[in-house]
Amino acid sequence: MANSRTTEAIEKLAAEIGQNVYMDIAKWHLYLADAKLHLAVAQGVYPLLEENRLDEDSVIKILQGIPVKIGGGKREIPLLDLLPLSCQVDLMDLLEEYQRNL
């Protein structure tokens, strides 16, 4: 039962992230849901929220560890490098709000 609740919570968090956080590529905004990266971010940060260990450095480390394939997979760029600073701030705000509501 707890596992299904955790899965549901991660999916809810992923939906929030996917709708509000985007990558900026040549001034195009590609939302993480459209890029199918929202679930990876949610799965990475959820343990921080659950254990009340949310901090900016940990989130940045998680974003740095999520590779984004470009050019048909010829190269990989860390997700962190594709997020504008404003989206990083929005993500932290979103995560802090989500943690308050847990």
**pTM for this model (two decimals):** 0.94
Query: At 71, is the pLDDT very low, low, confident or very high (cuts 50, 70, 90)?
Result: very high
Q: 31-51, pLDDT tens digit by residue? A: 999 999 999 999 999 999 999
And the tokens for 13?
């968090």
User: Taking 70 as the threshold, does the pLDDT of residue 1 lie above it?
Assistant: no
Structural contact between residues 18 and 33, judged by C-beta atoms closer than 8 angstroms: yes
> What DSSP designation does 1 have?
-
pLDDT of res. 70: 94
Give backbone dihedrals phi and psi of 36, rounded to 5 degrees, phi first: 60, 40
Q: List, as own/partner pairs, every contact residues 48-52 make where C-beta atoms lie below 8 angstroms and the sequence separation is at least 24, other chains included.
A: 48/95, 49/13, 49/95, 49/98, 49/99, 49/102, 50/6, 50/102, 52/99
Provide mean pLDDT across the span 64-81.
97
pLDDT of res. 4: 86
Provide mean pLDDT across the span 74-102.
96
